[in-house]
Amino acid sequence: EDKVVQSPLSLVVHEGDTVTLNCSYEVTNFRSLLWYKQEKKAPTFLFMLTSSGIEKKSGRLSSILDKKELFSILNITATQTGDSAIYLCAVDNYGQNFVFGPGTRLSVLP
Amino acid sequence: DVKVTQSSRYLVKRTGEKVFLECVQDMDHENMFWYRQDPGLGLRLIYFSYDVKMKEKGDIPEGYSVSREKKERFSLILESASTNQTSMYLCASSGQGGPTNEKLFFGSGTQLSVL
C-alpha cells in the first residue's frame, strides 16, 4: 500500500527560527513529490520535485528530494508568523492519484 | 488565474439527509478529485475522475458517490449523511501532460457538519 509519512506532526517555534519538515514515502511508481501550504482554506502549491539532489528554492523556503532514501525535506529559514500553516507532502504515483501525508502543523510565535 | 470553486464553504446537515457538494474548475483539466481532511489523518481520497462520466474509487468511497456529467463539474453525493462524515471536503483538479499540468489545484474546501 502506498504511504507518505510526515514528521513532526506539529511544531511550535519562535519568529526567526529555522525549521526542517520531513516527508518519507513508499509508493509503487514514483513520478513526483509535491509540497503544499495550507492556511485557512485551499492548499497552495509550493514545490514539485522530480530529481534527486536538486534544491528548489523560493525566498526563505527550500526543498530537496532523495530518491534513493525515499524522502524529502522542506526548510524554512527566518520563520515569520505568516509561515504558520499545515504543510502537506504528496506523492504522484502515476496512478492518476496523489498520496498525501498527514501534514505538519507549524505554529510560529511572535 | 486558475480556479477551482466549491459551492459551499460551510454546510450543516442532519443525519440521514442527502447532501450534494459541487465543484467546478475552469482550467479544462481532465482529472478531478474529492478528498476529505481530518486532523491527524491528512487528505484521504474518496473518489476521482479522469474523464467525463468516468469515476474511480479512492481509499474511502463507502457512503459516497460521485457524478461527472460535464468536464468542468464534479459532484460528491452523500446518500444518507452520518455523523462520521463530518469533515472538511476538498475538491481538486489536475491536467495531463507536462510538468505544469501535473500539479493539483484545490478548491477552498467545504466544512460539513452532520448533526
Considering only alpha carbons, which residue of chain B is nearest residue A40? B108
Q: Is B113 on the interface with A (CB under 8 A)?
A: no
Question: What is the mean predicted confidence (pLDDT) over A19-45?
Answer: 91
Kindly report the nearest CA distance between residue B2 and chain A, in angstroms.
12
How far is residue A58 CA from its own chain's centroid?
13
The model's pLDDT over A57-70, given as tens digits with 9 standing for 90+, comes to: 999 999 999 999 99
* Cross-chain residue pair A96–B44, CB shorter than 8 Å: no
B109 interaction partners in chain A (CB closer than 8 Å):
41-42
Direct distance between the N- and C-terminal alpha carbons of chain B, in angstroms, rounded to an integer: 37
* Cross-chain residue pair B31–A41, CB shorter than 8 Å: no
Q: Is B97 on the interface with A (CB under 8 A)?
A: no
Kindly report the nearest CA distance between residue B40 and chain A, in angstroms.
6
Cell of A82: 505568516
3-state SS string over A1-62? CCEEEEECCEEEEECCCCEEEEEEEECCCCCEEEEEEECCCCCEEEEEECCCCCCEEECCEE
* Cross-chain residue pair B43–A9, CB shorter than 8 Å: no
Q: Which residue did the predictor score with more confidence, A108 or A30?
A: A108
Q: What is the dihedral of CA B12, A89, A19, B99, to 10 degrees?
A: -120
Sequence-distant (6+) residues with CB within 8 A of A21 are A6, A7, A8, A11, A73, A74, A75, A76, A87, A89, A104, A106
pLDDT band at A1 (very low <50, low <70, confident <90, very high): confident
Which pLDDT score, from 0 to 100, does residue A42 have?
84
* Cross-chain residue pair B102–A9, CB shorter than 8 Å: no
Kindly report the nearest CA distance between residue B19 and chain A, in angstroms.
21
* Cross-chain residue pair B42–A42, CB shorter than 8 Å: no
B45 interaction partners in chain A (CB closer than 8 Å):
97-98
What is the count of residue pairs from A and B with beta carbons less than 8 Å apart?
A: 55
Which pLDDT score, from 0 to 100, does residue B95 have?
80
The model's pLDDT over A47-95, given as tens digits with 9 standing for 90+, comes to: 999 989 999 999 999 999 999 999 999 999 999 999 999 999 999 887 6
Question: What is the mean predicted confidence (pLDDT) over B8-27?
Answer: 95
